[in-house]
Structure 1
């Protein structure tokens, strides 16, 4: 009884953060039970676990581990390996490994513990909720956000049901879900979750508990990001006071609090107030971890940033160099934090006009980022939004510096432009990793040679991330707690893993070059790209940055690169304005058609095309790799001269000098895709002219908008919720469109897969390689990672019960596994703007790559739903023009658009709403003989 009372009081003190008072009580209770019950009794194991939790809370990981392992051995021996008590200790041990950076051990432990608890305690037990929370946290730390979210939600629901909505553990779950949303940039849902969590903690734990401080800090940071500086400052100061009172003036958590408030002051230009906070944060970390820890390096980096903002360049350089030296020594020369330090030094030198020094630093940063991307295979899941942005920033910074240097070093101008051209491709690739990694995962199913290699590659990449994380955590420990032997072992394991990855990649590239291009494309050198272009062809690739953009214009024998005074937000605004004049929603009669702003179209043309107009002279066919919001605009609607004519009648738009008149244009998802299409092109053997797929059997209200918003479309298993898919709007017009297209090609209804027959199962059973033209007229979900959708997809008729084989969504990964031999795949009425109306969705890129891999040579894709008769005219005329000798796909499409503009029987077709929706994606040149 005495031991139990001591344990209970110790537990109370621990929960209240009174660790010093709790420890001697636990120790007394443990000694009593060992003496009265023996060292292997389950009650002894319980106390060992409690004392280990206390050590864990205090950061005394080396002391906690042996206690957890001893408790685990007792429970496994006395209760059996499948007992709930075993699961509880496994979970705690996993949390310890997570804190130590030994993440390679976590997932199997969590899953074993979860399976035990679900079987022993039921699927809605509190312990199951805790384990789900921990598994979700692991996935979140690995950037696997789409897997983490449904698990976090299930954990929260269990805790609310079993503990009540006002329990502190519910507050923790709310905090975790809010953190996930914040990491993804989904700020709209975050504040409500943090405030609910804070209310629970204040009521149950009291206003001075450390957990209250953490939530206050999280909410303050959200307010800072939203520009609510006064509210943020108040909360940061409250959090700081709580931490100092509860944990003492030298606790490392206080350093974080100082730094957070300093960041707020710095963003407001309150440098004099920020500096002492940064310095106090640095002093606290040096005292806690020693002068050479990674945390100290981060603090120095922050202080250097403050000096840079004030123009104190010498002090900034000294602090940045010291931070870099620590990171190189502690973390290794290829760590991403080293790349960050190099990037910051490059910014410092560029600010001072020292272009050569800036370029040398950013080159090293690019090498680190590129090599890590190769090793990790792009990661799994969505990835950290902030990390994706920082990686892209490094590559775009390199583009900037190479172009700036090319204007100074004229002797090496071409080589510098070529260097920037490759970095620009890396910047584009870094923002499209999620869909491609999902696509690649599909190929790791089965038992063929490719599947075996893919599984080995994914395992090696996962192992690399685990070892790298473990090493970072190990070297970040305070000097007195570092295990140098383990650090050396981790470095050796990383080196062995590097060799394994390189060997697998070499085998993949040799045996499956098309697959390597699909999943891990390498930048195409400038000279190699020029060799792929015909004399009358040009390639434009646009890179969109925060406050500026870049364009590379490439011809067979020359190249031009320019910086454009057009940032991401300004471009988005321009594209949004033009899309308003192309929006078919609400158009019932010709009188409803919105006017198109030719003045704004000319203004955008001047910014995008005039800087490189000289190099485009003589080009007939132009490939375009669009960036940012440009992905949501067919560039043919730009206007090449100031147009002062009237457009009161729709037929007046014939007089407009459209860019579509000047060039046959083809969209490419990436520069490397042109190499893949022209290197791997093969002669078509398909004999049947047409297959039309669409008009899926859906039960939502009839609508014409085929780009839809999603909220909760996926289950935790990654299979679509078929009831949600079934609830999408039905599309009866799509049947008429497909039927008209079939008639124009002299094909009967037997060539249509429509209605209830338009299922994934039926499509996958067909011999699709027999069809020259395959058309999908259905919803296109191409706006990226929405509602759990991690890759673009086409909607088909959902089954009664969803499965991995058939859930009503034909995703890019499934498209890539189809066997096509099609000159054309036509995607009619896929909305390429995001479902909230924001242009610039990445989805089209992934879908196009998937169709190319499956065997399509070109896609004809619509940017918005269009009247069926106009769609049929464009598509059938395009196919007809391709029969003319020497006419390529892009030129055939150009001729079809111009014919529509000049239609004598339909003068309203001169409005770009009718003639401009389709773009050619892929191989726009003539068909290979």
Structure 2
């Protein structure tokens, strides 16, 4: 089987460039009803732009064409054909009947219960789709598998024994349509081709229609150049007087030309269509519905063409206008077009990274699909498939899997074999979760089921980079090497070794080589691929493909090279692996920051213009790279040198323009350049920013092992690779956090901290690199993955057990040799952030001491209530309060802002810090209804040394529509000054600060199934860019009294000794909790000790731990 290397990939969930082009116009319904020939990963389908099948028919209906053109007597399954020839007369005719009523289409089903209307998007209410995708559906609507069975029977009929060319042409045409309904796209293409052969010898047969049908079938099989040429033949074969069909075919040609890489031909086709529409619109007797559809289609095709070029913002405007006109249209087929446009807009939003809006759009299409085709219909399956893709991009992989499984279930329930995109989509989601065995099962089922149809198998697996990765991960590396070797050779010949897609393919090839024992060749391939991947990674960030899958591939490639380099050893193994880890760490955070920074740059006109130019060029290069990959992946007999040359010229020009813009940004706005495109720091580069008593500890957790590097200010770095992979490490950290975030109801419910497991972590990662940090007084830690959920300060440096209970509870923890006793510990979001922080100038000496925001009100009910909403934990002899935390997560529940628990005790905490720092409470404290986003925006925060936000830190998915980390402030329901109640990462980037500290005292680094650590990384880098030197961040819901005691003691120590560093002040405050007295009863008897790490280790310093 020949495998293509095109970067317009089915398998990884990418939205193909040619698919995008073909989706400019057409009825989604007309494609989805074709069954498994439709990629469920992309609800727009392969051939959606078939105006000859969509708009052409709609025009035919309104101008009153012959019955066969309206699909009334053209059912190859339920009725005999009324005629054997397809007459071509001089009167205007519409497009092929497949765009009207599918040969075996079900009737209109009753609307789904509770289905959303077709108007403007309503506020999105996320559902627990992981628990059951069926909850999205109305089960009262029936499945019609008999339709598929009838189509399959028709597709298996033998040709008639006749020499009549018209009869044979008609037979093959009808059998091809039935094959499409049955999901046999390869057979359909062959049958349409055979129908053309006979029709060319049958005078009067409608060749234009046949060529359009053939082009659609060729497009569904990724025969892009053949489809483009067939579309041209459809126009040439259609008489000038057949205006409806010619308009349809011009639109169709535009999409097929884009797919084949001929943007100039697409633009001419659009221009020809526009001229003919203007001509027809001026004629008498043309129904208003026809004019409406033409206008809608012009908008959509223009939007699709812009989207294919990567001009997503401009394309969005055209698509929105097309949707609005479709909703206002009186044509009965307009709702289908509206849904098609919504699906195109969904993919536009995915490409822009606007995933919440993408989810809104696809949910509207899902509701409409249920109304039009039934809950169990293929339209619904396709919509679920696209919703699964959106969930994957949002990181909600459990929900994505549930939706993908439901889509496949519906395909099977409709009588199809499920050998195609729906199963591939499920395999891709499983691969994203690292569930390699299950992913292989789905891929192999597809491969075996289509082994007798190599063309279809090639289409569904063509260029799917998840497949060779799954093969490597499931012990089939040698097979993957054989499969990839020729692909790499061809890709190098066609695109060269500087192309991102080529480098990505070589990286996976290197993974396979390494796993199959060919290590020298693997290292040679890695050495060629990795520099290109790192230098051009942003070039691929804004393409329309799956960002999550692309990030996973890059991470796996870097991790594979890291492992090979570590195993081979050598003088520079530590340095090489250090940089690889820095490049692999936090890709999703970096991308989110870049997107937010570009929007936040609007406040600076000069920067905004440069940022827009750089981002526009970047997006266009990404989109055109997809078209180029399609063009060069065509079969040898379809290669189009002119198209390839033209696309390369456009791409080169855009790359030059982007490079010029980036150079200017780096010269004029270096901080912004570092934020959007951070360069992986080397060990020597990091060492330059270390002080004499500091050491850097960088950590990385890969799939099969974990790594640690210790870099002293002077001397050799230390390096270790520990045979504990990410999943095992996550389980270990989760076990440790059970004692730190226990959701306890009483003091007795607080579990013992697992000292043995904590020391195991120390002994595996930190002790082996002790030579690199043992003389340091301050450790700067760059965590990764699960290691971002705890502080290294709470690791015992020697085996420890708790002594027999004496005195107050938890007092025995005072004897544990915590790492905290040896050195202060702070965290950095990345190695590169150290350079940014150390480059900040000293703060303005005239700054005020403190400004604080606390106890925001999230609902009118909270505003009306006086009683604190905190969880009380009963103690022997007294109570403490554990701060409430939101129970929402990106997977299980989505809470509205008004459902967040109030944090009334934070008002006292903010006041306490203000008094310690001698702040002015009347002027600088904003509590309750005053703690609004507008207040934050209006305050001159650059005039304060310490800025405190005592409120919930949220991760994407915690609230409906929340797509980036945020701090929760007073709701707009409480005060008109509330804005939207969320201070997002994008808002923070736009702030102007000069703060030594920003305190975030109600965060949880394990929230969102670990997303909290990434959120803190993103918020940290945003605050640093805004002008903050350090964050003080809570790691879990804190106990109120100890939290207040720690923060006030920290700032009191710094106030008393200005020479004390931030990291050392925090260390001393923590030791004060461990060794000092805990709460006492009225008689002065200790109730319990704060020596348990749930109390003293609740806060982490993120940023510069210096003065």
TMscore range, shorter length: 0.7 to 0.9
Q: 2:734 aligns with which of 569, 576, 580?
A: 576
Structure 2: tracts of 5 or more residues without a match: 1-63, 75-96, 104-173, 181-187, 200-204, 212-233, 283-287, 863-868, 871-882, 1080-1087
TM-score by length of 2: 0.70
Matches within 5 A, 1:248-397: 252-255=455-458, 295=462, 302=468, 309=475, 320-347=484-511, 350-351=514-515, 356-376=520-540, 378-379=541-542, 384-397=547-560
Deviations 1:212-233 (A, max 9, x none): 8543554577689897989996
Tell me, yes or no, if the aligned pair for 2:1032 and 2:1099 is still in contact at 8 Å.
Answer: yes
SS in structure 2 at match of 1:818: coil
CA distance in 2: counterparts of 1:227 and 1:46, whole angstroms: 48
Q: Is the 8 A contact 1:689 1:772 kept in 2?
A: yes
Cα distance change, pair 829–682 in 1 and its aligned pair in 2 (3 A)? same
Look up the match of 2:57.
Answer: none
Moved more, 116-125 or 608-617: 116-125
**Cα deviation, residue 329, structure 1:** 1.4
- 1:842 partner SS: helix
Deviates more, 1:801-810 or 1:642-651: 801-810
Count how many residue pairs are aligned between Structure 1 and Structure 2. 859
2:415 is the alignment partner of 1:207: yes
Q: 2:814 — aligned with what?
A: 654
Which region of structure 1 is more displaced relative to structure 2, 725-734 or 425-434?
A: 425-434
| 1:763 and 2:936 matched | yes
Q: Secondary structure at the match of 1:618?
A: coil
Distance 2:548 2:650 in 1: 29
Does the CA contact (< 8 Å) of 2:972 and 2:978 recur in 1?
A: no
Equivalent residues of 2:258, 2:266 under 8 A apart? no
3-state SS of 1:666 partner: strand
SS class of match (2:962): coil
Q: Choose 860-869 or 914-923, whichever is displaced more.
A: 860-869
RMSD of aligned alpha carbons: 4.3
Determine helix, strand or coil for the equivalent of 1:125. helix
Q: Which residue among 267, 285, 293 is the counterpart of 1:85?
A: 293
- Residue 288 of structure 1 is matched in structure 2 by none
* CA 784–325 in structure 1, closer or farther in 2 if over 3 Å, else same: farther
C-alpha separation between the residues in 2 aligned to 1:543 and 1:192? Answer: 30
Change (3 A) 1:787 1:365: farther
User: Is residue 90–residue 109 contact of structure 1 (8 Å, CA) maintained in 2?
Assistant: no
- 1:287 is matched with none
Whether 2:851 is the aligned partner of 1:691: answer yes
Structure number with the higher helix fraction is: 1
Cα pair 1:460 1:497 within 8 Å, conserved = yes
Distance, in Å, in 2 between the alignment partners of 1:234 and 1:821 is: 54
Q: Which of 725, 731, 744 is matched with 2:897 structurally?
A: 725
Residue 924 in structure 1 maps to residue 1084 in structure 2: no
Where does residue 677 of structure 2 map in the other structure?
520
8 Å CA contact retained: 2:382, 2:407:
yes
Q: Find the partner of 1:133 among 335, 343, 346.
A: 343
Query: 2 CA distance for matches of 1:812 and 1:666?
Result: 22
Q: Is residue 651 of structure 2 the alignment partner of residue 494 of structure 1?
A: yes
Matched, 1:433 2:590: yes
Verify: 1:553 aligned to 2:710, yes or no. Answer: yes
2:249 and 2:921 map into 1 onto residues whose CA distance is 74
Measure, in 1, the Cα distance between the counterparts of 2:350 and 2:1064.
47
Match of 1:5 in 2: 68
Identify if the C-alpha distance between structure 1 residues 57 and 340 changes in structure 2 by more than 3 Å, giving closer, same or farther.
closer
Question: Per-residue CA shift, 1:591-641, capped at 9, x if unaligned?
Answer: 333221112111111112111112222111110000111111022111111
Q: Distance in 2 between matches of 1:7 and 1:26?
A: 15
In structure 1, runs of 5+ residues without a counterpart are: 260-294, 715-720
CA distance in 2, matches of 1:51, 1:803: 50
User: Aligned-pair distance for 1:918?
Assistant: 0.8
- In structure 1, distance between residues paired with 2:473 and 2:755: 47
2:759–2:796 contact (8 Å) kept in structure 1: yes
Q: Offset at 1:197?
A: 4.6
Distance 1:57 1:220, change over 3 A: farther
Q: Which is worse superposed, 625-634 or 695-704?
A: 695-704
Cα distance in structure 2, aligned partners of 1:232 and 1:804: 54
The yes-or-no answer on 1:155 pairing with 2:365 is yes
Q: In the alignment, what sits opposite 2:624?
A: 467
Contact 1:152/1:177, CA 8 A, preserved across alignment: yes
SS in 2 for 1:910: coil
Relative distance call for 1:631 and 1:446 in structure 2 (3 A) is same
Structure 2 counterpart SS, 1:440 = helix
- Post-superposition CA distance 1:114-171 (Å, at most 9, x none): 4134135339933222100122134446766444222211222233345654554333
Spell out, residue by residue over 1:245-303, the C-alpha distance to the aligned partner (whole angstroms, 9 max, x if none).
Answer: xxxx656223356x6xxxxxxxxxxxxxxxxxxxxxxxxxxxxxxxxxxx5x8799959
Q: TM-score, normalised by structure 1?
A: 0.82
Q: Is the 1:133–1:152 Cα contact (8 Å) retained in structure 2?
A: yes
Return the offset for 1:542: 0.4
> Equivalent of 1:177, from 387, 398, 414?
387
SS at structure 2 position matched to 1:445: helix
CA distance, structure 2, for counterparts of residue 28 and residue 501 of structure 1:
43
- Cα 1:230/1:392, change in 2 over 3 Å: closer
Could you tell me how far apart the structure 2 residues matched to 1:875 and 1:652 are? 24
Alignment of 1:622-771 (within 5 A): 622-646=779-803, 648=805, 649-699=809-859, 702-703=869-870, 704-710=883-889, 724-750=896-922, 751-771=924-944
Distance verdict in 2 for CA 1:113–1:454, change over 3 Å: closer
Q: Deviations over 1:16-57 (max 9, x none)?
A: 4267468767548899x999x983565444664798799999
User: How far did residue 351 of structure 1 move?
Assistant: 4.5
What's the counterpart of residue 815 of structure 1? 988
Partner Cα separation in structure 1 for residue 520 and residue 816 of structure 2: 46
Is the 2:447–2:457 contact (alpha carbons within 8 Å) kept by the matching residues of 1?
no
